[in-house]
Amino acid sequence: MPQSKIAGVGMYVPENIVTNNDLTAYIETSDEWIQERTGIKERRYAHRTNETTTTMAVKAAQIALQRAGIKAQEVDFIIFATLSPDYYFPGCGVLLQREMKMKEIGALDIRNQCSGFVYAVSIADQFIKTGMYKNILVVGSEKHSFGLDFSTRGRNVSVIFGDGAGAVVMQPTEAKGILSTHLHSDGESAEILAMCNPGTHANHWVKVPVATFDDAPRGEMFMSHAMVENAQNYPNMDGPSVFKKAIIKFPEVIMEALEKNNLKTSDINMLIPHQANLRIAQFVQQKLQLRDDQVFNNIDKYGNTTAASIPIALCEAWEAGKIKEGDLVCLAAFGSGFTWGSVIMRW
């Protein structure tokens, strides 16, 4: 059975840099608070109308394809991870297929938020191992800036997130490549980091303190005027609860990957953690007793780009010469769902 490998990696971030100080024009916050709590200095925001989640993904994908030495028409399958799609449906995968003039190949959108890229790599790995596909394009892309609450009310969420895209091409290899992938979920706390509307929940799970559903005409139930008036059209997060769970699950799922392959933390050449919060990454580093040169972070420049954060970080680490052939590379993510996972590979 062939193994799979990452044959090319690319990234794209919008030109528009938004500093912490820029945010203080709309939100009661400070550069000091944001840097101290998250490590973020700035993030990118996509152009309001000329850039979408898919157009950013196209730019990242073009670089990944070129580095893998293949043309768009040679891609066999697309896996697109995002929580900020261009449309509620259809997914971004088909828009990418259209924009890149690919053949009539399969396009799968996955919704695993911060773990989206890790889930996507795991799916691609299975398809390659079975011999079904040879060139899989895996992308993570987010345009968060379009749907954040830029008032003080939403500040615990809005200051964290940024826009951008990352992509990889996965191919079969005779050498080592991906050693294993590990995926998990626990829906018990699904609503503590969530954007519940628009949705069909009809308050079944979400006990919203306004009489939105009973009063709304049937066709409006998906996203009623009352929801918008009550700012229920934005993501919400119980940050401290997410933080506490993340610092347990990150080390756990990294150790799971190492143990499965009889490896130790000292064998890791590069850990690319999902860029959720620098404090989380530092906690994980300390817990696993990793040196600075074994972990890559770039949250200071881009904030949390959810499904795009790992491929963007992977791309920058690779471009900086911090990942070399034969290196043991570990990707790990934790986020909304909760979902979490890891990928361990020989580069």
Q: Fill in the DSSP letter of residue 40.
A: -
Enclosing H/E stretch for 45: none
- Contact flags string 153-182 toward ligand UT7, x per CB under 6 A: --xx--x-----------------------
**In this structure, are residues 125 and 4 in contact, taking their beta carbons and an 8 Å threshold?**
yes
From 68-76, 136-144, 171-179, 276-284, span contacting ligand UT7 (CB under 6 A): 276-284
- Of 66, 92, 17, nearest to 307 (Cα)? 92
From 47-55, 102-110, 236-244, 247-255, span contacting ligand UT7 (CB under 6 A): 236-244
Region for residue 3 given its phi and psi (left: phi exceeds 0; alpha: psi -120 to 50; beta: otherwise): beta
Q: Is 114 one of the annotated active-site residues of the chain?
A: yes
Q: Which of residues 51-110 bind ligand UT7 (CB under 6 A)?
A: none
Q: Is 47 one of the annotated active-site residues of the chain?
A: no
- Contact between 305 and ligand UT7 by CB under 6 A: the answer reads no
SS3 244: helix
Sole residue written with tokens 């944001």: 34
Q: Is 304 one of the annotated active-site residues of the chain?
A: yes
Q: Which of 179, 246, 278, 299 binds ligand UT7 (CB under 6 A)?
A: 246
In angstroms, give the least distance from the CB of 142 to ligand UT7. 11
- Contact between 322 and ligand UT7 by CB under 6 A: the answer reads no
- Pairing type for strands 136-142 and 77-81 reads parallel
Q: Which of 205, 240, 286, 326 binds ligand UT7 (CB under 6 A)?
A: 240
Q: Which of 4, 38, 141, 171 binds ligand UT7 (CB under 6 A)?
A: 38
Cα–Cα distance measured from residue 81 to residue 311, given in angstroms and rounded to the nearest whole number: 11
Cα–Cα distance measured from residue 17 to residue 15, given in angstroms and rounded to the nearest whole number: 6
- Contact between 114 and ligand UT7 by CB under 6 A: the answer reads yes
For residues 51-66, one letter each, b for 16 or more C-beta atoms within 10 angstroms of the residue's C-beta and e for the rest, the string is: bbbbbbbbbbbebbbe
Query: Where along the sequence are the contacts to ligand UT7 (CB under 6 A)?
Result: 29, 33-34, 37-38, 114, 155-156, 159, 193, 239-240, 242-243, 246, 276-277, 280, 304, 335
Catalytic positions are 114, 274, 304
